[in-house]
Amino acid sequence: MAALSSVPMSRVAGGPMENENGGKADRPCRLTVLGATGSIGTSTLDLVGRNAGLFDVIAVTAQTNARELASLARLHRARAAVIGDETLFAELKEALAGSGIAAMAGPAALVEAALMPADCVMASIVGAAGLKPTFAAASQGRRIALANKECLVSAGDVFTDEVARSGAELLPVDSEHSAAFQALAGADPASIEKIILTASGGPFRTWSREQLQGATPEQALKHPNWSMGAKVTIDSATLMNKGLELIEAFHLFPVGVDALDCVVHPQSIVHCLVSYKDGSVLAQMAPPDMRTPIAVALAWPRRMAAPTEKLDLTRLGSLTFEAPDEVRFPALRVAKAALRRGETAPAVLNAANEVAVAAFLGRRLKFLDIASLVEDTLELAEKQGAIRKAAGLDDILAIDTQARRLAADRLARY
């Protein structure tokens, strides 16, 4: 059993929110968006803008785009806007002049934003940078719409323990986990046979290993179905994303590693299938638009309108499925091994992968070497005793730093 069997399944379903915006019945839902300028952040605010009166935006944050952050803050009448990069404070302040919106800057201010009273926090900062602010939101017992994968991948039990301790509610935003959550609603853990996440297969699904050797960042950034931030798009091309998602699923749902699987489904219509011991298989379907899982998380247990294309199966004609190829896509094999190894192996995997993806985007690493660099880093970390049970968030952050250093050193050999 995953360590977390009691957290989201019991906390998520039938949470305390009363109306269709996740707020109390008599007032709008107070919402903070961490990573507001990103792909998930802007989709979230798009839904907020289309549902006037349902949400009251408290804080919005970003790392570098001060002007866009200020304009989002003004548009949604946020109370505060926080820029992670301190050198941009003056620019943010100037862009907010006369608006009455508080401007703040720096990593500590990101945490402060997460601590401001709110009913729901959208955790959509990319990468391990999202750990501290998301932990801060969790510590307050908030509803957390969790897009950031790294809290579960890197911090795993440490994060879910904090969620359980504080009484926070975790609602998955990653589309496959939102689908699993919906298909699992209320299920007795003993009745679940398998949770099968789907993968689009990315832009290189049909490429040979030889072709993959020469894959460029431009080619890898052209996802066939989803429009997402750069990091997750590269992870989708290597299938590392599916590996990270298996780790997320392990921490979210009350099943063991052997009950988790993935299948390639190029149309990205079915997002997850849950099979039960009586032979029933429940799948969640939706056109590939992140506004659907975001709306699920914001409104649960109700449903809110999302302006997405409606599913027309007759127009699609067929849905196809195939087994993932771990020879052409070794990142999936490496991630599965890290999941089985447990302890801090997924934190090392994630840190090394962030270094590898940045190097690939900077043309310092070949596409297939992303998985090799991550695998090498895991081996080195094991030798150095860095793969062990984590003591807490600070320990995870120290392992993350150590793994990044190991990966950066190793990168010189490629």
**Chain residues that interact with Mg ion, rule: CB under 5 A:** 174-176
Residues of this chain that interact with ligand NAD (CB under 6 A) are: 35-41, 62-64, 84, 110, 124-126, 129, 147-149, 174, 226, 228-229, 231-232, 290
Largest Cα–Cα separation, the chain: 62
Which of ligand NAD, Mg ion, none interacts with 41 (beta carbon under 5 to 8 A by kind)? ligand NAD
CB of 306 to ligand NAD, least distance (A): 14
CB of 93 to Mg ion, least distance (A): 36
CB of 129 to Mg ion, least distance (A): 19
Q: Give the 3-state secondary structure of residue 192.
A: strand
Which CB sits closer to ligand NAD, 125 or 286?
125
Which CB sits closer to Mg ion, 91 or 176?
176
Which of ligand NAD, Mg ion, none interacts with 126 (beta carbon under 5 to 8 A by kind)? ligand NAD
Cα 263 from chain centroid?
19
Which of ligand NAD, Mg ion, none interacts with 125 (beta carbon under 5 to 8 A by kind)? ligand NAD
Q: Give the 3-state secondary structure of residue 407.
A: helix
CB of 175 to Mg ion, least distance (A): 5
CB of 82 to ligand NAD, least distance (A): 9
Residue nearest to Mg ion (CB): 174
d(CA 109, CA 60) in angstroms, rounded, equals: 11
Cα separations (Å) of 171 from 17, 62, 146, 179, 294?
12, 22, 6, 11, 9
Which of Mg ion, ligand NAD, none interacts with 38 (beta carbon under 5 to 8 A by kind)? ligand NAD
CB of 199 to Mg ion, least distance (A): 8
What totals of helices (H) and strands (E) does the chain contain, helices first? 18, 11
End-to-end CA distance of the chain: 39
Which of ligand NAD, Mg ion, none interacts with 111 (beta carbon under 5 to 8 A by kind)? none
Which of ligand NAD, Mg ion, none interacts with 31 (beta carbon under 5 to 8 A by kind)? none
Q: At what angle do helices 393-411 and 345-361 cross, to 10 degrees?
A: 40
169-172 and 192-199: which strand pairing? unpaired
Which CB sits closer to Mg ion, 169 or 174?
174
Which of 91, 89, 151 is closest to 122 using CA atoms? 151
Q: Tell whether the torsion through CA atoms of 68, 170, 344 and 244 is positive or negative.
A: negative
CB of 337 to ligand NAD, least distance (A): 21
Which CB sits closer to ligand NAD, 123 or 380?
123
CB of 263 to Mg ion, least distance (A): 14
Which of ligand NAD, Mg ion, none interacts with 134 (beta carbon under 5 to 8 A by kind)? none
Q: For residue 45, with 0-12 CB atoms within 10 Å meaning exposed, 13-18 middle and 19 or more buried, which class applies? A: buried
Which of Mg ion, ligand NAD, none interacts with 274 (beta carbon under 5 to 8 A by kind)? none
Cα separations (Å) of 34 from 82, 107, 266?
9, 12, 31
Which CB sits closer to ligand NAD, 62 or 380?
62
Helix ranges (H only) for 300-411 are: 313-316, 330-341, 345-361, 369-383, 393-411
